[in-house]
């Protein structure tokens, strides 16, 4: 709700700066729980915590001179939308209507909300990376395996079928807490490098230097070879490859990073979210199928605000330390605000991206008229898109309701 409240402030502040009268600033929908009028704006909180809005006076211009009102249900919708928008404009304050703003100011106002979410996400990611650190796989032995598996795949990582081969890590004397510093004469810097060295060893006996209780200790380990999953084929079956195996899992711990990592991390998260939004219809269909059949719910399926709440709760149950719980919540909120940023840029009304597209159309039309020496055209007739707006709104309402039900009956769980 705080993210949504700040999103709406991102719209309201530039709108007021450009002289638009803002009649309402509301967090939530439905019946008003509390409100107070300050200046010319009513600020309040509503009962249903699923969004918010600012009412900018004069979002739709009057009908162009000479244009007749259309007939049928769509014509009535357009006429009613125009009438409602016009009624909000006080006599003598036509210059304060949103539709009279220059196109670039309209774009600034409409982008103010999503950009606010992006700023929140950047702050959250910055706190996470610099203040708490990100979970990284280290070269410290976390746990020694109990057996050598027949094969290592995504499905058998937690419950492998064991062979009778002795575990090389146990035979070599590796213990939980050992920090691997050298492997086969090569200085070890990270887990990716170490796992690659192990995979390429085969069954050669190699020296391993570990740090234990502040002192270096040299051991000798003889890996065995197992089949490890490296990919999936078109049918979803694991693609296996022979690889060296010692038999220990690395420890994960938080490693703080510099400020220079923040923007690239936000950029990567934004790009990944954009790719998900590009396939949103397919993902929504998959979510519905998984939630209402016996198929397992995918961990990367689309979720509602209820699903986000479940994830927060699971994280709090999973972690005992307060710092880990706070870091988990900050990470979830950062991801949520990136999603709000990207989703609101979808170029369809009533989303912010739809208003931006209309402003760009208006600017382009005026530029072309100027080049051709024609009279300056009026504001873009946004009211004509009212039927589309209703259809998109109903679709969003339906999808949102379905996702909430899906997250109630079959939520994504991390525990």
The overall pTM is greater than 0.85: no
In a domain, 380, yes or no: yes
Q: Are residues 287 and 342 in the same domain?
A: yes
CATH classification at residue 224: 2.30.42.10
Of the chain, the end-to-end C-alpha distance in Å amounts to 26
In a domain, 39, yes or no: no
Q: Are residues 121 and 145 in the same domain?
A: no
In a domain, 346, yes or no: yes
Element spanning 54, H or E: strand 41-56
> In this predicted structure, what is the pLDDT of residue 75?
80
In a domain, 24, yes or no: no
In a domain, 161, yes or no: yes
**Residue 385 DSSP label:** G
Q: Are residues 232 and 265 in the same domain?
A: no
| 8 is annotated as an active-site residue | yes
> In this predicted structure, what is the pLDDT of residue 57?
93
> If pLDDT is split at 50, 70 and 90, which confidence band does 86 have?
confident
> In this predicted structure, what is the pLDDT of residue 236?
67
Q: Are residues 270 and 362 in the same domain?
A: yes
Residue where one domain finishes, among candidates 237, 255, 273: 255
Q: Are residues 274 and 401 in the same domain?
A: yes
Query: How many domains are there within the chain?
Result: 2
Range 296-300 average pLDDT: 83
Residue 68 has pLDDT above 70, yes or no: no
Q: Are residues 235 and 165 in the same domain?
A: yes
Range 165-185 average pLDDT: 93
Range of the domain at 187: 135-255
Q: Are residues 158 and 110 in the same domain?
A: no
Residue where one domain finishes, among candidates 255, 270, 291: 255
Q: What is the pLDDT of residues 116-159, one digit of tens each?
A: 999 999 999 999 999 999 888 999 999 898 888 877 776 665 66
In a domain, 320, yes or no: yes
Asked if 20 and 57 count as a contact pair (C-beta separation under 8 A), the reply is: yes
Q: Are residues 285 and 379 in the same domain?
A: yes
Q: Are residues 286 and 330 in the same domain?
A: yes
Range 281-294 average pLDDT: 90
Element spanning 48, H or E: strand 41-56
Q: What is the pLDDT of residues 225-242, one digit of tens each?
A: 888 887 777 776 778 888
Asked if 111 and 215 count as a contact pair (C-beta separation under 8 A), the reply is: no
Q: What is the pLDDT of residues 336-369, one digit of tens each?
A: 999 999 999 999 999 999 999 999 999 999 999 9
Q: Are residues 333 and 277 in the same domain?
A: yes
Q: Are residues 109 and 178 in the same domain?
A: no
In a domain, 25, yes or no: no
Nearest by Cα to 380 from 56, 112, 114, 102 = 102
> In this predicted structure, what is the pLDDT of residue 99?
92
Range 386-411 average pLDDT: 91
Residue 265 has pLDDT above 80, yes or no: yes
Nearest by Cα to 383 from 103, 59, 105 = 59
Gap between the Cα atoms of 303 and 307, Å rounded = 5
Asked if 255 and 177 count as a contact pair (C-beta separation under 8 A), the reply is: no
In a domain, 75, yes or no: no
Residue where one domain finishes, among candidates 206, 227, 255: 255
Q: Are residues 373 and 397 in the same domain?
A: yes
Gap between the Cα atoms of 3 and 123, Å rounded = 12
Range 172-187 average pLDDT: 94
Q: Structure tokens of 342?
A: 């990207």
Asked if 244 and 201 count as a contact pair (C-beta separation under 8 A), the reply is: yes
């Amino acid at each position: 709700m705080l993210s949504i409240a700040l999103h709406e402030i991102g719209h309201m502040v530039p709108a007021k700066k450009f002289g638009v009268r803002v009649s309402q600033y509301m967090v939530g929908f439905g019946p008003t729980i509390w409100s107070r009028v300050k200046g010319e704006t009513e600020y309040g909180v509503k009962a249903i915590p699923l969004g918010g809005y600012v009412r900018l006076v004069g979002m739709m211009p009057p009908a162009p001179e000479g244009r007749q009102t259309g007939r049928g249900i769509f014509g009535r919708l357009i006429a009613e939308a125009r009438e409602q928008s016009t009624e909000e404009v006080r006599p003598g304050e036509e210059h304060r209507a949103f539709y009279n703003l220059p196109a670039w100011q309209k774009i600034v106002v409409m982008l103010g909300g999503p950009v606010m979410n992006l700023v929140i996400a950047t702050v959250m990611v910055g706190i996470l990376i610099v203040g708490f650190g990100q979970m990284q796989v280290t070269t410290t032995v976390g746990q020694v395996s109990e057996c050598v598996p027949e094969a290592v795949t995504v499905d058998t990582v937690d419950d492998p079928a064991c062979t009778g081969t002795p575990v090389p890590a146990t035979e070599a004397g590796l213990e939980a807490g050992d920090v691997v510093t050298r492997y086969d004469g090569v200085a070890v810097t990270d887990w990716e490098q170490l796992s690659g060295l192990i995979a390429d060893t085969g069954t050669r006996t190699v020296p391993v230097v570990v740090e234990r209780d502040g002192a270096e200790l040299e051991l000798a380990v003889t890996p065995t070879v197992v089949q490890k999953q490296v990919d999936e084929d078109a049918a979803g079956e694991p693609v296996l490859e022979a690889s060296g195996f010692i038999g220990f899992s690395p420890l994960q711990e938080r490693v703080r990073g510099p400020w220079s990592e923040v923007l690239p991390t936000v950029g990567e998260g934004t790009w990944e979210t954009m790719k998900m939004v590009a396939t949103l219809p397919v993902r929504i269909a998959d979510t519905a199928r998984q939630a209402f059949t016996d198929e397992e719910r995918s961990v990367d399926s689309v979720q509602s605000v209820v699903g986000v709440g479940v994830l927060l709760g699971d994280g709090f149950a999973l972690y005992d330390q307060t710092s880990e719980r706070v870091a988990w919540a900050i990470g979830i909120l950062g991801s949520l605000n990136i999603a709000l940023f990207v989703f609101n840029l979808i170029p369809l009304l009533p989303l912010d991206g739809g208003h931006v597209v209309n402003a760009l159309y208006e600017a382009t039309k005026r530029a072309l008229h100027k080049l051709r020496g024609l009279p300056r055209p009026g504001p873009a007739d946004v009211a004509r898109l009212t039927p589309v707006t209703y259809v998109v709104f109903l679709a969003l309402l339906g999808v949102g309701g379905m996702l909430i039900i899906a997250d109630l009956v079959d939520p994504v769980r991390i525990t």
